[in-house]
Structure 1
Amino acid sequence: MAYNLLKGKKGLIFGALNEKSIAWQVAERAYEEGAEVVLSNTSVALRFGTVNELAERINSIVIPADATNIQDLENLIDKTMERFGGKIDFILHSIGMSPNVRKGRTYDDLDYDFFHKTLDISAISFHKVLQTCWKKDAITHGGSVVALSYIAAQRTLYGYNDMADAKALLESIARSFGYIYGRERGVRINTVSQSPTETTAGGGVMGFDALLDFSNRMSPLGNASALDCADFCITLFSDLTRKITMQNIYNDGGFSSMGMSNRAMAVYNRNLEECKDCK
């Protein structure tokens, strides 16, 4: 059901790849709620994804850009404002990738060139987007920026690797830039800490299926889906959340407040003997 929460608003969405992508779901929901949207991803991602189909469906355009490249971002912001005939009301940063995870490098055996790329792609790109928009005064007063995070920024989760460091940096950038943007231009900047979600990127994490099952058993409401996340992002883009900024908000079915659930303990007890020597 649509409520016209974003009627007349214009947004830039990074990271839509295919129908599994949270960014894809956000773009569809934003369109349903009355927004006009521009989509962006890297040229390589666009070749492997189906985002052009999404663009046709929501009457949008796709502007290729590497979010780690300032020149690409400057071109993207200029073309986006040209498309809209003015400033941007909301932005979604849904960008994350770890070469170490893709190559199966464990946290005690990281390739540092890969590590730098992880941080640049998954976190520093967020600062670059914000700084580029700041210098171009591209975001409307009262606008909203959201980046997608994960609880591994606060807690150690086996297999999440150097992406945990990237998410911690991402959340810090939201707070630091959130103060400046809020004080000077009334723009809100928040991160959403989402449940593990079956996306193309999420599937690359070691032991992802088991992590998905565990978090679902631990969460009183179960895991939040990509669509659940999209719905929540819509509220953060809307005028209903005008005073929420610099927050990391958990959209995870209650997982972040749990210690142990009955469902998870039952599985643990059944397997306790055969796994008593597990580390």
Structure 2
Amino acid sequence: MSYNLLKGKRGIIFGALNEQSIAWKVAVRAVEEGATITLSNTPVAVRMGEVSALAEQLNCEVIPADATSVEDLEEVFRRSMAILGGPVDFVLHSIGMSPNVRKKRTYDDLDYDLLAKTIDISAISFHKMLQVAKKMNAVAEYGSIIALTYVAAQRTLFGYNDMADAKAMLESIARSFGYIYGREHNVRVNTISQSPTMTTAGSGIKGMDKLIDFSDRMSPLGNADADECADYCITMFSDLTRKVTMQTLFHDGGFSSMGMSLRAMDQYEKSFDQYRDDKGNIIYG
């Protein structure tokens, strides 16, 4: 169902790769809600063909760019303003990748050159994006800029590795830059902390399927899926949230506020069944 929440608005969606991508779903919902958009991803991702299929579906243009390159980002904003007819009203940063995770390097055995790439791709690219947009006056007053994050920025979750460090920096950038951008141009900058989601990037995290199951058992509302995250992004792009900025907004079914749930406790108790004596007492070995 469309509510015309973005009627007449213009936006840029960074990071749509395939139908599993949250960015892909955000792009679809944004157009459904009346926006005109451009898409951007790396030249390699664009050559893969699926992003082009989305662009054809939504009747929008794809602008290939490396989000770690200031020059490429300048081109994205310059071309987007030309294509869309002026400054944009919203931007989505859905970019993250850890070479250490891909190479199965554990957190206590990181390759530091790869760590620098993780931070550059997953966090500093957001600062570059914000800085370029501000210098080019590319985002309209009361525009909304969103980056996707995860609770591992604040809590330790096994297997998330150096992406946790990147997400912590991402959230800090949103606060620090959000103050300046809000004060000078009334532009909102927030991060959305999404439930673990089986995107192409997420599938590279060790034990992701188990993490998804655990968080689902812990969350009173269950995990938020990618379509629901897209809906939340749309509300943050809309005029209904004009005074929300510098926030990490948890979209995780309540997981971030939980200590232990009944479902998780039941599963935990069941794991001890094989260690009980004939009176039902747990035998600790």
Place the TM-score, normalised by the shorter chain, in its bin.
over 0.9
Could you report, residue by residue, the CA deviation over 1:39-97 in whole angstroms, capped at 9, with x for unpaired residues? 00001122235011111111111000000001111111111111012101000000000
Instruction: Write the distance in 1 (CA, Å) between the matches of 2:153 and 2:77.
Output: 29
* Paired amino acid for 2:163: M
Answer whether contact 2:22 2:227 (CA < 8 A) is retained: yes
Counterpart position of 1:71? 71
Answer whether contact 2:45 2:51 (CA < 8 A) is retained: no
Q: CA RMSD in A?
A: 1.2
1:61 aligns with 2:61: yes
Q: TM-score normalized by structure 2?
A: 0.95
* Paired amino acid for 2:208: F
Question: Which secondary structure state, in structure 1, belongs to the residue aligned with residue 90 of structure 2?
Answer: strand
Answer whether contact 1:18 1:49 (CA < 8 A) is retained: no
Counterpart position of 1:80? 80
Instruction: Write the distance in 2 (CA, Å) between the matches of 1:186 and 1:19.
Output: 33
Could you report, residue by residue, the CA deviation over 1:255-276 in whole angstroms, capped at 9, with x for unpaired residues? 0111111111111111136699
Instruction: Write the distance in 1 (CA, Å) between the matches of 2:49 and 2:148.
Output: 20
Answer whether contact 1:13 1:91 (CA < 8 A) is retained: yes
* Paired amino acid for 2:249: I
Q: Percent identity?
A: 68
Could you report, residue by residue, the CA deviation over 1:138-189 in whole angstroms, capped at 9, with x for unpaired residues? 1001100000000000000000000000000000000000000000000000
Unaligned runs of 5+ in 2: 276-281
Answer whether contact 2:190 2:248 (CA < 8 A) is retained: yes
Segment drifting more, 90-99 vs 260-269: 260-269
* Paired amino acid for 2:246: M
Could you report, residue by residue, the CA deviation over 1:114-154 in whole angstroms, capped at 9, with x for unpaired residues? 00000000000000000001110110011000000000000
Superposition pairs for residues 167-186 of structure 1, below 5 Å?
Answer: 167-186=167-186
Counterpart position of 1:32? 32
Counterpart position of 2:261? 261
Counterpart position of 1:154? 154
Superposition pairs for residues 200-215 of structure 1, below 5 Å?
Answer: 200-215=200-215
Instruction: Write the distance in 1 (CA, Å) between the matches of 2:130 and 2:237.
Output: 16
* Paired amino acid for 2:115: F
Counterpart position of 1:241? 241
Instruction: Write the distance in 2 (CA, Å) between the matches of 1:246 and 1:97.
Output: 23
Cα 1:77–1:261 shift into 2, 3 Å: same
Answer whether contact 2:15 2:93 (CA < 8 A) is retained: yes
Counterpart position of 2:112? 112
Answer whether contact 1:202 1:208 (CA < 8 A) is retained: yes
* Paired amino acid for 1:266: D
Answer whether contact 2:25 2:230 (CA < 8 A) is retained: yes
* Paired amino acid for 1:178: G
Q: CA deviation at 1:195?
A: 0.0
Answer whether contact 2:220 2:253 (CA < 8 A) is retained: yes
* Paired amino acid for 2:267: V
Question: Which secondary structure state, in structure 1, belongs to the residue aligned with residue 115 of structure 2?
Answer: helix
Segment drifting more, 266-275 vs 141-150: 266-275
Unaligned runs of 5+ in 1: none
